[in-house]
A and B are shown apart, each in its own frame.
Chain A
């Protein structure tokens, strides 16, 4: 009888341990930790510099590029490109010219569903907007985060 009681107690102890454990969570808090937090935008030729915090890496989630003409037509010229540094494969996006006044010839939306991580941690990523053709305007938005 004593052994039976001991056995039942042991069984109850194991059962309590089993049913006390909660399900494994995939997110530590209700806060969405992988959301993009930072952005840079430009509508002029130049360099966007995305500097990570300390030794962290830049994660790019989205880039959108618009290539338009102003009030006058854009003269046809050789293609230029929006270029990058410190990203795998150094992606770049070609920009055309030669469009009628007021028109937009390119609306490029590039999405990285899980992020595109910088090649070298602790080093800035740059997105370089080329010199414009006469009457051309190129707009660029870059959405990103800094994380280990």
Chain B
């Protein structure tokens, strides 16, 4: 009986000796941005292709709209950086970002510089299908750079 009691006490000590529950499945951070594509080329498409049937999760987009050192971008109607496979099935819901043509003075200046963050990720609408980000046709002396950070997951 004495030995049995000792054994039970030993078992109880094991129960309280267990380590705390983990809050992350692995040491790797699974929702971190892993990839980046960027371009400063006019009328260019960035294609974010997921592996297999996974989805694209965008975590950040950076945009800057500047003029080069050799001239001034003539004032014109705004153009748009557009996207596909983001925001829903309707094309009208696809995200787009407006770009001004530029200041009438200020060679080398930037008229827009901003970053868009999606804290929990912006998931592509259709799994297994690329997301595209398309730069507009630039006005002479205008340069728009767009940088997209993302990762893939089910």
* A residues neighboring B (CB under 8 Å): 3-4, 6-8, 10-11, 14-15, 18, 23-27, 29-32, 34-41, 43, 61-62, 64, 66, 68-72, 100-104, 107, 109, 111-115, 137, 139, 141, 143
Contacts and interface: CB of A to CB of B under 8 A. Distances in A.
21 contacts: A8-B7, A11-B8, A41-B94, A43-B78, A43-B80, A61-B118, A61-B119, A61-B122, A64-B114, A69-B75, A70-B75, A102-B101, A102-B102, A103-B103, A104-B65, A109-B116, A111-B118, A112-B119, A137-B77, A139-B98, A143-B122
B107 to A, nearest CB: 14
B93 A41 contact: yes
A101 B23 CA distance: 53
B4 A104 contact: no
Contacts of B122: 35-36, 39, 61-62, 143
Contacts of A41: 87, 92-96
Contacts of A109: 114-117
B105 to A, nearest CB: 8
A39 B88 contact: yes
A7 B86 CA distance: 62
Contact of B21 (A6, A11, A24, A70): A24
* Interface bracket on B: 35 or more
A68 B87 contact: no
B24 A26 contact: yes
Contacts of B121: 32, 35-36
A25 B119 contact: no
B1 interface: yes
B47 interface: no
Interface string B67-89: 00000011111101000001110
Contact of A34 (B94, B115, B120): B120
Interface stretch (B10-18, B34-42, B130-138): B10-18
Contact of A111 (B96, B103, B119): B119
Contacts, number: 176
Interface of B: 1, 3-4, 7-8, 10-11, 14-15, 18, 21-25, 30-31, 57, 65, 73-78, 80, 86-88, 92-104, 111-123, 125, 153-154
B75 A101 contact: yes
Contacts of A31: 153-154
A30 B153 contact: yes
A61 B92 CA distance: 19
Given A107-B112, A113-B119, A139-B98, A7 B4 contact: yes
Nearest to B23: A26
Contact of B86 (A10, A39, A64): A39
A76 B77 CA distance: 18
A114 B76 CA distance: 38
Nearest to A64: B116
